[in-house]
């Protein structure tokens, strides 16, 4: 059974510090190249994208131990020029404060990988890192929700994002990507969320939820996140994890466990 760490309230720092200590993250990352994968969907600030404080806390805890820290993501295919967006994004200021570069996840090009069902064009940079830390925001989405599992969409090339949205089973793509890239840790911000959908520009409505989650199993985190989102998102009321296709696919593939223990 997986463990989901959960904190109710807005205290990000103490929660993340506790999780890092519990999982001995700093010991594990010593001398390694870390990739921090935030949730940069577009120019929009939190809660569309990762909160600057969440990123800053992780950078402070990791920078002294790792060989190198890279913060990178690939924005949504319809959000505009990704290079320009990264250069102007609110999270760049946070990275600058720690002397860390915020880069386009596709800046080193892409490579083809074969999953169980697809041949996908994905970011080369992700293969050059030893430790991946994923920083998603828990939000509503047309797929039901976006959280730990769906944050992997940023690893796809822009063309692959478009194909996956239009002609492929996006939920299956999301699940199978977790067999290619396996973050060591996920820190999920649900202090605020978006209901209706995952971006304000598409009609998302910022709503207070009041939780932080963390763990090593993206399936358990999304199942736990589903239960929390039900408190504020009417379209999810009565839904079980089997009704959320990317979670169902991930369980089938053995990516993680639907059963979990909560540690407050």
pLDDT score for 216: 98
Domain around 133: 2-263
Closest CA to 244 of 261, 231, 227, 260: 227
pLDDT score for 37: 98
pLDDT score for 165: 76
CATH at 62: 3.40.50.11440
Task: List, in sequence order, every beta strand (DSSP E) within the chain.
Answer: 2-8, 33-38, 68-73, 102-104, 110-114, 119-123, 131-135, 139-141, 144-146, 185-195, 205-215, 260-263
pLDDT score for 84: 81
Residue 111 near residue 163, CB atoms below 8 Å: no
Torsion of Cα atoms, 58 then 59 then 61 then 63, to 10°: 150
* Residue 162, both tokens: 């478009």
pLDDT score for 164: 83
* Residue 76, both tokens: 């949504």
Q: 106-147: per-residue pLDDT in tens?
A: 999 999 999 999 999 999 999 999 999 999 999 999 888 999
How far apart, in Å, are the Cα atoms of 184 and each of 24, 86, 108, 130, 218? 11, 24, 22, 10, 10
Tally of structural domains, the chain: 1
Give the max Cα distance, the chain.
Answer: 46
Closest CA to 187 of 43, 56, 44: 56
Give the chain's residues under pLDDT 70: 77
pLDDT score for 21: 97
pLDDT score for 85: 85
Q: Give the separation between CA 171 and CA 194, rounded to whole angstroms.
A: 20
Is the torsion defined by CA of 98, 104, 108, 110 positive or negative? positive
pLDDT score for 86: 87
């Amino acid at each position: 059974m997986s463990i989901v760490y959960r904190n109710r309230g807005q205290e990000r720092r103490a929660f993340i510090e506790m999780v890092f200590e519990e999982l001995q993250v700093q010991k594990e990352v010593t001398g390694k190249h870390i990739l921090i994968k935030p949730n940069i969907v577009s120019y929009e600030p939190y809660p569309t994208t990762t909160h600057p404080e969440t990123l800053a806390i992780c950078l402070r805890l990791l920078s002294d131990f790792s060989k190198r820290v890279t913060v990178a993501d690939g924005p949504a295919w319809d959000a505009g020029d990704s290079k320009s967006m990264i250069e102007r994004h609110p999270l760049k200021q946070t990275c600058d404060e720690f002397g860390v570069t915020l880069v386009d996840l596709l800046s080193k090009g892409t490579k083809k990988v074969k999953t169980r069902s697809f041949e996908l064009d994905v970011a080369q940079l992700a293969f050059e890192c030893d430790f991946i830390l994923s920083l998603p925001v828990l939000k509503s989405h047309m797929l039901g929700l976006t959280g730990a599992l769906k944050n992997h969409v940023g690893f796809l090339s822009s063309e692959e994002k478009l194909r996956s949205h239009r002609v492929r089973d996006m939920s299956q793509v999301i699940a199978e990507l977790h067999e290619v890239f396996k973050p060591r840790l996920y820190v999920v911000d649900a202090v605020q969320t978006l209901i209706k959908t995952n971006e304000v520009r598409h009609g998302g409505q910022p709503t207070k939820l009041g939780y932080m989650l963390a763990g090593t199993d993206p399936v358990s985190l999304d199942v736990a996140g589903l239960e929390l989102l039900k408190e504020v998102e009417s379209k999810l009321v009565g839904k079980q994890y089997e009704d959320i296709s990317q979670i169902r696919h991930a369980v089938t593939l053995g990516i993680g466990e639907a059963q979990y223990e909560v540690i407050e």
